[in-house]
Amino acid sequence: MATAKTTADKKPTAAKKATASKAKSTEEKKVAVKKAPAKKAGTSKAKNIDPGERYRMTEIAAYYMAERNNFAGCAVDYWIAAEAEIAKKLAG
């Protein structure tokens, strides 16, 4: 005669259910504990500025620096100072 399965074989025991529930809750807790990725130290606003815009900002800053000095001096010096000022503003 063929072996008949009893109802005990078909249903998991209470201990198995508790273990399965415990495993699920542990997995859920592990997922909930994950933290958002930390920002990199080198990220700054400067990455969001397109090169043309940065050039225009430098150009304007250099002009106003020269104007404050009555256009006495070297244009390259004003440009370098303006680049440094823009870089500082965008980094902070």
Residue 75 to residue 86: CA distance in whole angstroms? 16
In a domain, 59, yes or no: yes
Asked whether the beta carbons of 46 and 34 are under 8 A apart, the reply is no
In a domain, 70, yes or no: yes
The tens digit of pLDDT for each residue in 23-76 reads: 555 555 555 555 655 555 555 555 688 999 999 999 999 999 999 999 999 999
Statement: residue 82 has pLDDT above 60: yes
In a domain, 82, yes or no: yes
In a domain, 6, yes or no: no
Range of the domain at 71: 45-91
In a domain, 32, yes or no: no
Residue 35 to residue 31: CA distance in whole angstroms? 9
Q: Which of 55, 56, 57, 77 is nearest to 66 (CA)?
A: 77
In a domain, 36, yes or no: no
Q: What is the pLDDT of residue 92?
A: 82
Q: What is the pLDDT of residue 31?
A: 54
In a domain, 2, yes or no: no
Tell me how many domains the chain contains: 1
pTM exceeding the 0.75 threshold for the entire prediction? no
In a domain, 78, yes or no: yes
